[in-house]
Amino acid sequence: MDAQFSTALPPDELVTNIHLVGFAGDDVVLCLDARGHWFLPGGTREAAESVGSCLERELREEAGARLLGPPTWIGHHLAVSEGAAPYRPWQPHPVKAWLWGWADILVDSSPTNPEDGEQVVEVRPVPPAEAQRLLTQHREPWWPELIALAVESRNS
């Protein structure tokens, strides 16, 4: 799959996935899955689910967190799938978008860990530089740049 990043917002009908740089104070909230991979909370929209509802659900499922204010969208990856069919039947195909944003959040419970999602074994607020370091493991090299963009947007 080929994907290009843009700071513009995509059309809502193309958004299949949402991910958030969640700030607890000045720290970035990361999740650790059962395979030992660190990630930002977020995931796939369900059929007819709004961006906001997806974000709230994913925060609860993966980080045990809730929004303290509205998210700020910082960009998206526009992707073109080479697959014969969409990942889920209701998703656009072959062009789709992954939406990226940041928000202040509160981790106030344990992740709900639904059976069909990632099994989160730890939620950890860390300084942005540590988040950038942890996200380079088992991930594409642009993840630290997303953290930097979120920090810059938040501080502006």
**What integer pLDDT is reported at residue 41 of this predicted model?**
98
pLDDT at residue 139 in the model = 84
Cα-based distances in Å from 96 to 9, 45, 129:
12, 12, 30
Residues in CB range of 145: below 8 A, 6 or more apart:
none
Q: What is the pLDDT along the chain (156 residues), one digit of tens a residue?
A: 678 999 999 999 999 999 999 999 999 999 999 999 999 999 999 999 999 999 999 999 999 999 999 999 999 999 999 999 999 999 999 999 999 999 999 999 999 999 988 899 999 999 999 999 999 988 888 999 999 999 999 999
Domain membership of residue 145 as a residue range: 2-155
pLDDT of amino acid 118 = 85
Q: Give the 3-state secondary structure of 91-140.
A: CCCCEEEEEEEEEEEEECCCCCCCCCCCCEEEEEEECHHHHHHHCCCCCC
| Contacts of 50 by beta carbon, 8 Å cutoff, 6+ apart | none
Closest CA to 146 of 104, 101, 106, 103: 101
- CATH at residue 80: 3.90.79.10
Taking the model in full, what pTM does it have?
Answer: 0.95
- Per the structure, how many domains does the chain have? 1
At position 150, the amino acid (one-letter code) is A
DSSP 17: E
